Amino acid sequence: MSEARFYIERSDEELFALVKEDRDEKAFDALYQRYDKRLYAYCLSVLKDKEQAEDVFQTVIMTMYDKRHLFKGGNFAAWLFTIARHFSIKAARKQARMTALDEVNLEETLEHKEEDVLLVEALNKALKELPDNYRKPLELRYYGGFSYEQIASTLGIGLSSAKMRVSRARRMLQKFLSPYLNEAR
């Protein structure tokens, strides 16, 4: 078996074990190639700024490597996108504060940015409230950009279960966030 094929055929978790235990650069490169576009796209979708998304993307990659000892097993993609979510939200909050200070109409800007930050905080709280069997598929779908087939495969569940769990998780979030969303209107 060729060396390149060896890395291609490994699961994310197997590759990360090689990175974690042996600091295997080729395993790291294989993971990077698998996730670079989706991870950057996620950061960009949150931040809406290419330069800032690139900075956060690089931070996520460095953190993934530097904090590799914290990965205790389970779903590597979910762990990676949790890191990306954390840094993206942190950067969005920082950007909201900086933008507000630069605006001429400071009061109006602060009102809009405060709503966004409050929504992000409410969403994070709501996500934490979801049971794992609903939260994980939802995060993979919306933060990871996974198809339902990929979610099913990653979590070891059927395709219909993956669809049902994402749908139920969305309804739970909607119910949790409805008081906030009604106030914002």
| Cα 83–chain centre separation | 7
> pLDDT class for 110, splitting at 50, 70, 90?
very low
Fold classified for 1-102? Rna Polymerase Sigma Factor; Chain: A (1.10.1740)
Sorted by where each begins, the domain ranges of the chain are 1-102
Q: Which of 36-40, 119-123, 132-136 has the highest mean pLDDT?
A: 36-40
Range name among 23-32, 49-58, 110-119 with the lowest pLDDT average: 110-119
Stated pTM of the model: 0.55
